[in-house]
């Protein structure tokens, strides 16, 4: 059974290209971040990756904390 993810109405959703631009990384690096478990995008019915702005902000905050060690 497919996992269903609810997206809040007011949530800002970005494409992979927009997410990469927001994080200032390449699409390849964004894909690596996903395969390493740092980000888990939403998938459209067509298989396209979507990211919430909140998800990206949380990722940045988490990586800032771990890089200050």
List the Cα angle 63/27/46 in 5-degree steps.
110
Residue 10 CA to residue 7 CA, distance in Å, equals 9
pTM for this one?
A: 0.77
Task: For the chain, list the domains and their CATH numbers.
Answer: 13-67 (1.10.1660.10)
For strands 49-52 and 42-43, give the pairing.
antiparallel
**Residue 49 near residue 42 (C-beta atoms within 8 A):** yes
Q: Which tens digit of pLDDT belongs to each residue from 11-65?
A: 899 999 999 999 999 999 999 999 999 999 999 999 999 999 999 999 999 988 7
User: Which residues fall within 8 angstroms of residue 28, CB to CB, at 6 or more apart?
Assistant: none
Strands (E), the chain: 13-15, 42-43, 49-52
The answer, yes or no, to whether residue 68 has pLDDT greater than 60, is no
């Amino acid at each position: 059974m497919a996992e269903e993810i609810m997206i809040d109405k007011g949530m800002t959703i970005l494409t992979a290209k927009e997410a990469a631009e927001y994080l200032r990384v390449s699409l390849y690096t964004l894909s690596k971040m996903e395969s390493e478990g740092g980000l888990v995008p939403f998938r459209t019915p067509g298989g396209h990756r979507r990211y919430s702005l909140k998800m990206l902000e949380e990722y940045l905050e988490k990586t800032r904390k771990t890089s200050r060690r």
